[in-house]
A = this chain, B = another copy of it.
Amino acid sequence: MFSSEIPDCNPTVSPRLYHICMAPVSVSTCQVLLIRSLARSPANFLEEEGNRGLVAAVFGILFSSLCVLVLDRDPLPLIAHSSQSSRGKAKYWKILALLYYPAFYYPLIACATVRHRVSYLVGCLLSWCHCVVHIWQKVDCPQSPKIYRYYSTLSYIPIILCLVLLSLWYPALLIRSFTGNSSSRSTEKPLPAIHPCRISLGKSQLMFDTPPLPVPVLSLGCLLWLLGWVDLQPAPAFPRDPVSQLLPDTPLPFCLTGFRIPLKLVLSITTAVLAVYQVALLLLVAVVPTIQIVRAGMTKDIVILLVQFGLVPSESPAVPGDMEKELNTVKYYLWSLEVCYICSLVLCCLLTCAMLLRTLVMHRNNLKALYQGAVLDVFYKAHILRPSRQAIVCWMSFAAFQTAFACLGLLIQQVIFFICSVGFTFLFIIPLQSGTNTYLFKIFQNMWPFWLTLVVAVIVQNLAAHYQFLEQHPLRKELTNRRALYIVTYLLFPINVLVGVLAGVWRMVISGLYNAVHFSQLDISLLNRSVETFDPGYHTYCHYLKIEVSQSHPVMKAFCLLLLQLARPEGPPGLRASNVEEGIQLMQPKKAPPSRTRFKQSRARWWLAYTLLNNPSLTACRKTALSDPTANGTQLSSPKP
């Protein structure tokens, strides 16, 4: 009905031409990067600490390509006529495309990972090229017949935005590699000045010195603070930092935390947000234009049919000529349906995004607790935190699962909320407005003595329990009037069964709603605590946490770094020094003088620990070892400098 109006459109750079040109370029770039082996391996991207945004952008491109691919008739533009081939072959191309796209975009990550001026230049060129071609294609042909005329363009927006980010990121990296104050190999940012900024993290009350945070992170922090998910404590005796000078309304410098969210989680949240966008877009364009077309094309003949079926109230059902009022009613109903749909979709998106933010907060708390060994604060049963086959598989699929769960969660929520909002509108709001279809009100009117009885019974039981059956001793409450209690229990049994039916309905509603709202959160189980690991999402999250904790404990990382620095004293102390800071802070839960001496003292402790590890025989001569026979060389938490 509306796809016929869209003219056939062939972009100047056809997708086929684009892939035929770019695929060999990508492959050769990969080969060069792998063979030349410049500064670093191009495969280290998942432990990258500098260019997290860049890696996240590439994963975003990858996921958006997957979304486009699933619905596309032409899955692999590289192959001639893959769209014209039979449907049987198209599905093989689709499966092949699942592996093709990651390889196609791989150079965009690899160029940043090797950290070399030439690779930055190649990354620049590649990202510009991809970006320009995509924008050009969409400017040439903004409309397509698929689902909705602008659907194709709208679904490409995340890809284009990610490519724009890459096109700006690579030049910035390249420029910094020229203007950097260190050698060409160490392009890392210098360690930012440390500000004493505090945050109380639940029970742990750790102190964190953090660099000033950029404005988007600050706004996110404000949002989280508004939602009550973090406590922010301003550092009182500290001058205004640069960020709060930029934001004069911010009363005192505050910061979220010095805690670094793992890259894998950043990726999963990025792709999950993109998933929310893509699913919401699909839900929107698949339904709303259709409703609008139906509304515009509504005729009096259809209205007569609807009136005859009793779906639309009418005062004159016998006169087909005079249906103006009923036609307007039908149009109003359709408009209400549309409004309900859009409102519930907006609500779902906001809820899913809020749950994703909550995942971040939960994850930070969980990691903090596990770093400090409080396994039972996180898991219901004790776990051994070490890699295993299952844990590695779960770590590999974590980001993908988070993304898929966000998609499904949004869908489920949309179904539930749409039904609820339609029910609310058509059973409550429209009857209130028009005075027709007042079924719900009639039921309530008929049933009010019943509801009143139940409410009175519950109130009577509460009052009796408080004033009659509970003896209020000053020290301890005690049961009294037992015989009256038994008689009341017996007499109210039938009424309590009816109250129980209502409680059961509430149980059903609340468990259904809770599970639907929290579906996209992997960090909580939807099952009872005794069987919680049967939930595939929670299972994946638990194993993912094990790998994260066992592989990236800040104390371990700091220790490794110090070992490396000792081995290469001329090496760059740059970015990695933040690990030392984090490790030291975790080892020192008590308040310490916020001065530079603390860092030196801590470093001295690390060296001591290193010396003791290399010379275990010295341990026996130490003061603490002499007083405590069970202590040995691993007592890192209380060595005397």
Chain A residues with CB under 8 Å of chain B are 41, 43-47, 59, 62-63, 65-66, 69, 91-92, 94-95, 98-99, 101-103, 106, 109, 380, 386-390, 392-393, 395-397, 399-405, 407-409, 412, 446-447, 449-450, 453, 458, 461-462, 465-466, 469-470, 476-479, 482-501, 503-508, 510-512, 514-515, 518-519, 524-532, 534-537, 540, 547, 550-551
- Asked if residues A46 and B490 are in contact (CB atoms below 8 Å), the reply is yes
- Asked if residues A95 and B450 are in contact (CB atoms below 8 Å), the reply is yes
Contact of A401 (CB < 8 Å), options: B396, B399, B487, B500: B500
Given contacts A99-B491, A494-B98, contact A404 B43 (CB under 8 A): no
Contact of A547 (CB < 8 Å), options: B44, B479, B490, B510: B479
- Asked if residues B41 and A405 are in contact (CB atoms below 8 Å), the reply is no
| In the bound complex, CA of A501 to CA of B403 (Å) | 9
| In the bound complex, CA of A380 to CA of B528 (Å) | 11
| In the bound complex, CA of A536 to CA of B496 (Å) | 13
Measured between C-beta atoms, what is the minimum distance from A41 to chain B in Å? 6
| In the bound complex, CA of A371 to CA of B94 (Å) | 62
Measured between C-beta atoms, what is the minimum distance from A242 to chain B in Å? 35
| Most chain B CB within a 10 A radius of its CB, from A47, A98, A405 | A98
| In the bound complex, CA of A477 to CA of B392 (Å) | 11
| In the bound complex, CA of A403 to CA of B3 (Å) | 57
Given contacts A62-B493, A404-B503, contact A47 B485 (CB under 8 A): no
Contact of A400 (CB < 8 Å), options: B65, B404, B499: B499
- Asked if residues A387 and B536 are in contact (CB atoms below 8 Å), the reply is no
Kindly report which residue of chain B lies nearest to residue A91, judged by CB atoms. B449
Q: Can you name 13 A-B residue pairings with CB atoms under 8 Å?
A: A44-B483, A92-B449, A99-B494, A380-B380, A386-B476, A392-B479, A402-B500, A408-B501, A408-B508, A479-B551, A504-B519, A507-B535, A514-B534
| In the bound complex, CA of A435 to CA of B296 (Å) | 44
Measured between C-beta atoms, what is the minimum distance from A529 to chain B in Å? 4
- Asked if residues A486 and B44 are in contact (CB atoms below 8 Å), the reply is yes
- Asked if residues B397 and A500 are in contact (CB atoms below 8 Å), the reply is yes
- Asked if residues A396 and B547 are in contact (CB atoms below 8 Å), the reply is no
- Asked if residues B507 and A526 are in contact (CB atoms below 8 Å), the reply is yes
- Asked if residues B493 and A43 are in contact (CB atoms below 8 Å), the reply is no
Residues on the B chain within 8 Å of A486, using CB: 43-47
- Asked if residues A514 and B527 are in contact (CB atoms below 8 Å), the reply is yes
Given contacts A465-B393, A518-B528, contact A497 B66 (CB under 8 A): yes
- Asked if residues B515 and A511 are in contact (CB atoms below 8 Å), the reply is yes
Given contacts A487-B43, A494-B102, A530-B524, contact A462 B400 (CB under 8 A): no
- Asked if residues A389 and B466 are in contact (CB atoms below 8 Å), the reply is yes
Measured between C-beta atoms, what is the minimum distance from A442 to chain B in Å? 12
- Asked if residues B102 and A491 are in contact (CB atoms below 8 Å), the reply is yes
| In the bound complex, CA of A483 to CA of B465 (Å) | 66
- Asked if residues A102 and B466 are in contact (CB atoms below 8 Å), the reply is no
| In the bound complex, CA of A400 to CA of B470 (Å) | 21
- Asked if residues B510 and A534 are in contact (CB atoms below 8 Å), the reply is yes
| In the bound complex, CA of A507 to CA of B532 (Å) | 11
Residues on the B chain within 8 Å of A69, using CB: 494
- Closest A-B pairs by Cβ, 3 of them: A404-B500, A400-B496, A43-B483
| Most chain B CB within a 10 A radius of its CB, from A66, A389, A396, A492 | A396
Kindly report which residue of chain B lies nearest to residue A479, judged by CB atoms. B387
Kindly report which residue of chain B lies nearest to residue A488, judged by CB atoms. B396
| In the bound complex, CA of A488 to CA of B458 (Å) | 60
Given contacts A450-B91, A465-B396, contact A537 B489 (CB under 8 A): no
| In the bound complex, CA of A392 to CA of B484 (Å) | 12
| In the bound complex, CA of A401 to CA of B445 (Å) | 26
Kindly report which residue of chain B lies nearest to residue A392, judged by CB atoms. B465
- Asked if residues A489 and B46 are in contact (CB atoms below 8 Å), the reply is yes
- Asked if residues A497 and B389 are in contact (CB atoms below 8 Å), the reply is no
Kindly report which residue of chain B lies nearest to residue A526, judged by CB atoms. B511
| In the bound complex, CA of A400 to CA of B540 (Å) | 40
- Asked if residues A505 and B408 are in contact (CB atoms below 8 Å), the reply is yes
| In the bound complex, CA of A469 to CA of B388 (Å) | 9
- Asked if residues A519 and B510 are in contact (CB atoms below 8 Å), the reply is no
New A-B pairs, 4, CB < 8 Å, besides A43-B484, A392-B469: A63-B493, A109-B490, A396-B488, A528-B529
